[in-house]
Structure 1
Amino acid sequence: MSILENEVAEPVSPARPAGARRHLGAGDMSRVAVLVALLIAGQAIAPSFLSLANIHVILLAVAGIGIMAYGMTLVVITGEIDLSVAGVAVLSCVVGGLLIPTGSATLVISATLLVGLGAGLGNGVLVGAFGIPSLIATLGMLGISRAVANIASGGQALYPEGLVAYLWLGRGAFVGIPVPVWLLLVLGAAAIALTKYSIFGRALFATGGNARAAALSGINIVAVRVTVFVISGVCAALAGMLESARLSYINPAGFEGMELSVLAVTVLGGAALAGGVGSISGTFVATMIIGIVNNLLNQLGVSIYLQQVVTAAVILAVVLPGMWQRGIAK
């Protein structure tokens, strides 16, 4: 067998996928255990913690960051990173908000999502086609997006009060469940199906696990990378729109530092920054862990600064065992 044939055969070897599945299974179990422990502790500390009203509060609080984290997870699985999500969310909402005077919620929503798609496409082309490191490309997109959003809006907030359909996305409910929560659940289910049961999902993990071997296997790694950045951009725009609709307020300076929170949730969910490992279900559980911790600390009146310390400690407590298990941490 030639060297080329050996290289082509490498991606279909079961060794790496099996290891990844074992790791994700153990990681998901540890995250679920932490989640259950937090629920029990929360109910013991605050009797109303598991009330329907408080559950709604938690889910609404994390819906946006969870949707962004879905897109980020796909990007990280390919071995890349998207630090532009907060800027893309702001720019998308501002561009859509500039169309508020038309009175068309459809036009505003469409423009918001299209800007997110365009920004994601820009990231994907820079990284996938031109080979610019994703850290550099997306940091640049973050800065450009925030600057353009402020220039376009004149630094002034935009108010979509008259757009009933737009506001419904953030404030409406279907069979008693808020619309943002529905989107968090439905998009999560769609992302799980995409990563676990589709050809694209296999290409996704192959690209992150060994890009050269994936290319030799016939996988278009440029297309895979462009696609995940486009998905991430649309997720960011959607998350920004849901938050703006909920608050009835589009802030050109909003979502400050959100990209780091999204990345933290993604890593907490089990995605490896080296690529090839990740789980949408893990990301969802991680999103809930962060939401529950923040909600419980808020009920206890803990300061925002101490909340950040506790949240970081929880992330380390969940992530480090998995790192040790893979031999990354020494």
Structure 2
Amino acid sequence: MIRQKLTQKVLDLPKTDLARVGVLIALLLLGAVLSPGYLSVGNMRIILLSVAGIGIVAYGMTLVVISGEIDLSVAGIAVLSGMVGAALLPSGSAVLVISATLATGICVGFINGILTSVIGIPSLITTLAMLGIARSLANILSGGQAAYPDAMPEYLWFGSGTLFGLATPIALLLIIGLCTIVLTQYSAFGRALYATGGNSRAAVLSGIPVKAVKITVFMISGFLAAMMGMLESARLSYINPAAFAGVELEVLAVTVLGGAALAGGSGSILGTLVAALIIGVVNNLLNQLGVSIYVQQVVTALVILAVVLPGLRSRIFAK
């Protein structure tokens, strides 16, 4: 009985996701009216490439937020993971560099999970501190100098290669999205995740390993942050210890726009993907219209409010 109540929210997700899809379609049609050729294959590719990195790390953020926590360390993890990989470039082993990059993200995520769920430090404090620590360690490790993986085509493939006929970042955005949708909607772990975020005490009483669930989502978030850092560094052929400033707030905005409640217990990966696309479509259209970057930020914020407020009002009146 407890499990049925705790997982009921999962059944309500498609309606909110469909509403966001409607907004996305409306924005695409608006773009087609205002800018000829807006719906061309080339421009759609540009939009997908622009949101691939943010979308991938937002998947991890969504899992963390569903569990009732938050991860503000993603930008620091991306930078630190990249610099750990950069330190191993002289080895000439692409497997070593890529494995070390992703493993660093997992390890930092594991530390976040332990500090939050076992030690009991609020995730806001833990991950904010980890953001600063990771950035500092990245600069110490690199001496403040960037690295250039030009001689490692396997690494560069993540930014400029193709997979299944799609640009690698786009293919990974879709593949990882599909995997996380299956994880959250069609697995026992997904049910445990929503239960943990909805009511952790009731989840414990129903036998769900709440601490293990939270540690796992932080590790996934760290892994995907490292993946995002590698994709961007590979695309630019430039591993920068000062990169990704403010990315954590962009990712959080996409997560909230996608329908994840900061209180935990609700949200969906599909919603996050659609939210990332909404942001990408808006920014791309404004760029084509020659709108100032400062005006773009205002418009993007208004779009987020317009999409989020109806759902927020319904939750308030439901109480």
- Normalised by the length of structure 1, the TM-score is 0.94
Q: State how far apart, in whole Å, the 2-side matches of 1:198 and 1:276 are.
A: 16
C-alpha displacement at 1:175, in angstroms? 4.2
Specify whether residues 104 and 277 from structure 1 end up closer, same or farther in structure 2 by C-alpha distance, changes over 3 A only.
same
Indicate if the aligned counterparts of 2:10 and 2:194 stay in contact, CA closer than 8 A: no
Alpha-carbon distance between aligned partners in 1 of 2:140 and 2:283, rounded to the nearest angstrom: 33
Cα distance in 1 for partners of 2:119, 2:213 equals 14
Alignment match, 2:192: 203
Alpha-carbon offset, residue 176 of structure 1: 3.1
Distance of aligned partners of 1:42 and 1:329 in 2 relative to their CA distance in 1, 3 Å threshold: farther
- Looking at structure 1, the residues matched to 188 and 120 of structure 2 have their Cα atoms a distance apart, in angstroms, of 24
Matched, 1:306 2:291: no
- CA displacement 1:154-210 (0-9 Å, x = unmatched): 111110000000001110013431011111001000000000110100100000000
Equivalent in the alignment of 1:137: 126
Which of 256, 273, 278 is 2:245 aligned to?
A: 256
* Paired AA for residue 86 in structure 2: G
| Aligned counterpart for 2:272 among listed residues 258, 283, 302 | 283
Superposition pairs for residues 212-227 of structure 1, below 5 Å? 212-227=201-216
Equivalent residue for 1:21?
11
Corresponding position of 1:6: none
Note the C-alpha offset of 1:19: 4.8
* CA distance in 1: counterparts of 2:160 and 2:176, whole angstroms: 18
Moved more, 88-97 or 301-310: 301-310
Cα 1:111–1:19 change in 2 (3 A) is closer
TM-score, length-normalised on structure 2?
0.97
Q: Stretches of 4+ moved more than 6 A in 1?
A: none
Q: What residue is the counterpart of 1:67 in the other structure?
A: 56
Count of equivalent residues: 319
Q: Is the 8 A contact 2:164 2:171 kept in 1?
A: no
Residue 17 of structure 1 deviates from its aligned partner by 3.7
1:12 aligns with 2:15: no
2:11 partner amino acid: R
Could you say what secondary structure the match of 2:216 adopts? helix
Residue 97 (structure 1) aligns with: 86
Q: Choose which of 124, 142, 146 in structure 2 pairs with 1:157.
A: 146
1:77 corresponds to 2:84: no
Whole-angstrom CA distance in 1 between matches of 2:48 and 2:29: 17
Amino acid at match of 1:91: L
2:222 aligned partner: 233
CA RMSD between the two structures? 1.4
How far apart, CA to CA, are the structure 1 residues paired with 2:96 and 2:38? 40
For 2:155 and 2:281, how far apart are their aligned partners in 1?
28
What displacement does 1:131 show?
A: 0.9
* Structure 2 SS opposite 1:327: helix
Post-superposition Cα deviations, 1:133-155, rounded to whole Å, max 9, x if no partner, equal 00000001000000111111111
Return the alpha-carbon distance in structure 2 between the equivalents of residues 104 and 25 of structure 1: 44
Q: Which residue of 2 aligns with 1:267?
A: 256
Q: Which residue is 2:34 aligned to?
A: 45
* Alpha-carbon shift at residue 25 of structure 1 (Å): 2.8
Shift of 1:12: 2.1
5+ long unaligned stretches in structure 1? 1-8
- Distance between the aligned counterparts of 1:133 and 1:158, measured in 2? 35
1:109 and 1:174 map into 2 onto residues whose CA distance is 17
Specify the SS of the correspondent of 1:143: helix
1:13 shift after superposition: 3.8
**Equivalent residue number for residue 135 of structure 2:** 146
AA paired with 2:34?
A: I
